[in-house]
Amino acid sequence: MSTLEGRDAVWTEERGTSDEGRRHLEAPRKWANKTALNPWGHPWILEGFTWLYLVWSLVPIAIAVLFSFNNGKSQSAWQGFSWRWYFTDHTNSVLHNPQLHAAVIQTVRLSVLTTVIAVPLGVAFAIGINRWRGPLPSTFNFVMLLSFVIPELIFGVAMFFVFTVLFTTVHLGTLAETLGLVTWNVSWPAVIVQARLVTLGRHYEEAAADLGASQFQVMRRVLLPLLGPAIFASAVLVFSGVIDDFVLVDLLSSSASNTPMSVIIYSTQHGGNGGPALNALGTIMLAMSLIIAVIGFLGYRWLTRGERGSRLDALTMIAGSEG
């Protein structure tokens, strides 16, 4: 082999080695660039866990709702679609069973009474704390947040002690349940309205006062309309919270006539007497909560149409303000 051919062979071999080394160097670089754009890749594990959680949570509820429309008494074998356990059965349906029917009425009664009382109190509390200057407001603000800190069971036992030992003129029943629920839920409107007040500031009220409005006119025509979305959202939260409240109403109820749906469902099922009628009662309870949530979402969107945010903002205000 000539000297020229030997050089060509060496040069070709070196170039091949160089190209191979360049490819080895570029491969990690490409991987690093791809990783920089999407460090996690497709989150298969997180997505799978999310779907598993949804299936685990929603499928039992869907089955319970489905068997509330079962024509027979079985909760495991489907025997045809029927409204029997809602109103067509003249003995055991929710409409005709006195205990189940009274539970629905009592739940609605407690929700309305608690909302009507707790929301104005919470709004007044929020405005007072926001306008009050001095060392005491922070103390009262902490007291307002107690329901977020104290476990509901401890609070319920305390209310039971209050109505059975200290204030015996208030007997267990609807009145005691209402007072306990109002005390427990008044923090929601207070916190939400106070957050709205901090966001609004004082310039709208000051502008109205500069134009000659009295303090009452400022409150009625300026402040309350601006607080409307927060008041509405807090009312939705209080109403929906009372529907599925269990601990307080279980401790403060006195008889079947003033026992709401949550307690009836638990006590009946726990006693081994469950059936499709109980599924129907739970479905009504679920439907009430969903209807209130939809009304809250649409109402909040309508009230804030002038300060339009995303649908997610409205959903967060209605469903996530509890955080």
Q: What is the 3-state secondary structure (H, E, C) of 160-209?
A: HHHHHHHCCCCCCCHHHHHHHHHHHHCHHHHHHHHHHHHHHCCHHHHHHH
Instruction: List the CATH code of the domain at 87-319.
Output: 1.10.3720.10
Burial of 57 (0-12, 13-18, 19+ CB in 10 A): exposed
Residues 6 or more apart in contact with residue 262 via CB below 8 angstroms: 107, 243, 244, 245, 246, 249, 250, 285
pLDDT (tens, 9 = 90+) of the chain, 323 residues, equals 455 455 445 445 555 555 554 555 455 555 455 544 555 567 778 888 999 999 999 999 999 899 999 988 887 788 889 999 999 888 888 999 999 999 999 999 999 999 999 999 999 988 888 877 767 766 777 777 777 788 889 999 999 999 999 888 889 999 999 999 999 999 889 888 988 888 887 777 778 887 888 878 888 888 888 888 899 999 999 999 999 899 999 999 988 888 999 999 998 888 777 788 999 999 999 999 999 989 988 888 888 776 655 555 555 555 554 44
What angle do the packed helices 174-185 and 152-161 form, to 10 degrees? 140
Q: What pLDDT does residue 114 have?
A: 96
Q: What integer pLDDT is reported at residue 168 of this predicted model?
A: 85
- pTM score, two decimals? 0.78
Asked if 185 contacts 146 with a C-beta cutoff of 8 angstroms, the reply is no
pLDDT of residue 140: 72
Asked if 280 contacts 93 with a C-beta cutoff of 8 angstroms, the reply is: yes
Report pLDDT for 106: 94
Phi, psi of 81 (to 5 degrees): -75, 140
SS3 content of the chain, % helix, strand, coil (to 5): 75, 0, 25
- Residue 305 corresponds to which amino acid? R
Predicted pLDDT at 321:
47
